[in-house]
Amino acid sequence: MTLTVAVQMDPLAGINIAGDSTFALMLSAQARGHRLFHYSAEDLNWSDGRLWANAHPVTVQRVDGDHFRFGQPVSLDLGEQADVVLMRQDPPFDLGYITATHLLERIADRTLVVNDPASVRNAPEKVWVLDFARFMPPTLVTRSLEEAKAFLAKHGEIVVKPLHGNGGKAIFKVGRDGANLSALIEVFNQTWREPHMIQAFLPAVAKGDKRIVLVDGEVAGAINRLPGEGEIRSNLAVGGSAEKTGLTAREREICAALAPELKARGLIFVGIDVIGGEWLTEINVTSPTGIVAIEKFDGTDVAGMIWDAIEAKVGESKVGERNARLPR
């Protein structure tokens, strides 16, 4: 089976090929003989029921500084000529991102979009996780300074973070004395119109924040991300480091609880974050990462597992029809 795969992502020139999950997915797809196209969300166009992108045919290779080659751009009809769209641009989850999900939703009955665009829109990382509050640390969603003070008084130490933040950015710990809490909430309220997430600080974060990857609801692997010296954030993008890990019984319980919902919502590639082996903090569905590090430590071909799941969902007859309509 040869698939036509349109990858909606950020510019290829700026990625870190050593750890980028989208690049790993592209390499894996290419090795299977799939045909790749690259475009950005800004390249989407819609008219008269058609959704198309000004896309470049692309080949990739694991060579620093020479990791991709573009062909001449084409007008690619995503509903008629693509078998799969990988929606892999990084957050922020802003109106541009939301609009792209609305547009891609219009072809989801004809083309497999990974992850499902309506589900991505309706399951932002720090909001959908509230459906699984029984697994979460004590959490408050608010814009109120008074509510934040009361939460701090109850839990002693807290963490304040943007509700739609990503990559470990703008995460602050506030100690028992509440120093700077008023100023912090003031800055957050001036910066973001939505509420903010406040959680009880978990000392176990010093031992790592586990990223568990699920493929079509099944556990594919995990890494433990350790914070850098003087940090509470363990995201690799802000200086954290990764190590080999396994799953606790509690983490397996969390994954089992999530699995039916992930399958039902068409969320094929998902990364969840768990602290201390028991506290679920995020369900990442927009552009999850971690598959390169998992393969490094475990030897698990997570990218291959993702393509196995995708290929199983795409029909052979439809692929043949679409290949015949590709721009030449």
Q: Is 116 a catalytic residue?
A: no
Residue 178 burial (CB count, 10 A)? 14
- Of 129, 122, 121, 125, the residue nearest 97 (C-alpha): 121
Which of 35, 88, 121, 161 does the annotation list as catalytic? 161
Catalytic entry in 209, 216, 282, 311: 282
Residue 173, class by beta-carbon neighbours within 10 Å (0-12 exposed, 13-18 middle, 19+ buried)?
middle
Active site residue 45: no
Please say if 252 is a catalytic residue.
no
The CA radius of gyration of the chain, in Å to the nearest whole number, is 21
Torsion sign across C-alpha atoms 244, 249, 251, 253: positive
Residue with tokens 């700026």, as numbered in its chain: 14
Instruction: Supply φ then ψ for residue 9, to 5 degrees.
Output: -155, 180
211 is catalytic: yes
Identified catalytic residue from 88, 233, 265, 322: 233
- Choose the catalytic residue: 77, 83, 273, 311: 273
Asked if residue 20 lies in contact with residue 9, where contact means CB atoms within 8 angstroms, the answer is: no
Is 321 tagged catalytic?
no
Is-catalytic flag, 243? no
Annotated catalytic residue 233: yes
Choice among 35, 126, 210, 322 that is catalytic: 126
Beta pairing partners, 189: none
CB 129, CB 280: distance < 8 Å:
yes
Contacts of 179 (CB under 8 A, 6+ apart): none
Sheet with 209-215, side-by-side order of all strands: 241-244, 218-226, 209-215, 269-275, 279-284
Of 211, 216, 224, 251, catalytic: 211
Q: Encoding tokens for residue 328?
A: 């030449």
Helix intervals (H) in the chain: 21-31, 95-105, 117-122, 125-128, 145-155, 181-191, 249-265, 291-298, 302-313, 316-324
* Residue 32 to residue 193: CA distance in whole angstroms: 45
284 is catalytic: yes
DSSP SS3 for 91: coil
Q: Which residue of the set 224, 284, 311, 322 is catalytic? A: 284
Instruction: Point out the residues that are catalytic.
Output: 126, 161, 211, 225, 233, 273, 282, 284
